[in-house]
């Protein structure tokens, strides 16, 4: 029946394209699985890193597949650009599955830079917390209380409850 359809409609005859279709599905299946794994739930940056590395490794196994060779190069290129991000590197550094004694992910210089970035980030957070605390203490209690009363009244009214104020 398929041959009859192919004879009637030449555009349905895919016999000359099977090699490409097989190469395509073989090369992109690991990337598809990677995408599915990353879309399932919240994924940390280190889990993303591990999942991406597994996909690259699987794609590289297809040495005779011309699509897989180019795809592996592209995945590695994008991955190299992502690794330049200090936030990404910090997330990898903080994960003990990746950063352990004698781990080859970071050299000594990279570890020092990441540690400096972590310290700098912590200092910024502390400064922000101090600024927030100072701003909160400078406002008057009554105006803060009035704003809370208005918010509570609005939310109560919105959800059809009783307003006790």
CB 108 within 8 A of CB 67: no
Express each pLDDT in 39-65 by its tens digit.
877 888 888 889 999 999 999 999 899
- Domain assignment present for residue 78? The answer is yes
- Domain assignment present for residue 125? The answer is no
pTM over cut 0.85: no
Express each pLDDT in 101-111 by its tens digit.
888 889 999 99
- Domain assignment present for residue 140? The answer is no
Q: How would you write the pLDDT of the chain (165 residues) with one tens digit per residue?
A: 566 766 677 766 667 778 888 999 999 999 999 999 888 778 888 888 899 999 999 999 998 999 999 999 999 999 889 888 888 999 999 999 988 888 888 999 999 999 999 999 899 988 888 877 777 666 545 455 555 566 666 666 655 554 444
Structural domain count, the chain? 1
- Domain assignment present for residue 34? The answer is yes
- Domain assignment present for residue 122? The answer is no
**Residue 77 sits in which domain range?**
29-105
Nearest-10 Cα torsion for 23, 26, 74, 15: 20
* pLDDT for position 163: 45
* pLDDT for position 150: 67
- Domain assignment present for residue 77? The answer is yes
- Domain assignment present for residue 47? The answer is yes
d(CA 128, CA 118): 15
CA angle 37, 40, 44 (to 5 degrees): 75
- Domain assignment present for residue 151? The answer is no
């Amino acid at each position: 029946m398929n041959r009859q359809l192919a004879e009637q409609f030449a555009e349905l005859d895919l016999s000359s394209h099977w090699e490409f279709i097989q190469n395509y599905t073989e090369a992109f299946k690991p990337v598809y699985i990677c995408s599915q794994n990353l879309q399932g739930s919240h994924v940390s940056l280190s889990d993303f890193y591990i999942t991406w590395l597994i996909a690259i490794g699987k794609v590289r196994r297809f040495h005779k597949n011309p699509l897989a060779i180019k795809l592996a190069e592209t995945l590695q290129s994008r991955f190299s650009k992502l690794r330049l991000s200090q936030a990404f590197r910090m997330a990898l550094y903080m994960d003990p599955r990746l950063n352990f004694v004698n781990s080859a992910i970071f050299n000594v210089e990279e570890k020092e830079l990441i540690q400096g970035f972590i310290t700098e980030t912590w200092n910024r957070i502390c400064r922000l917390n101090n600024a927030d605390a100072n701003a909160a203490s400078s406002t008057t209690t009554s105006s803060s209380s009035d704003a809370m009363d208005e918010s509570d009244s609005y939310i109560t009214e919105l959800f059809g409850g009783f307003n006790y104020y």
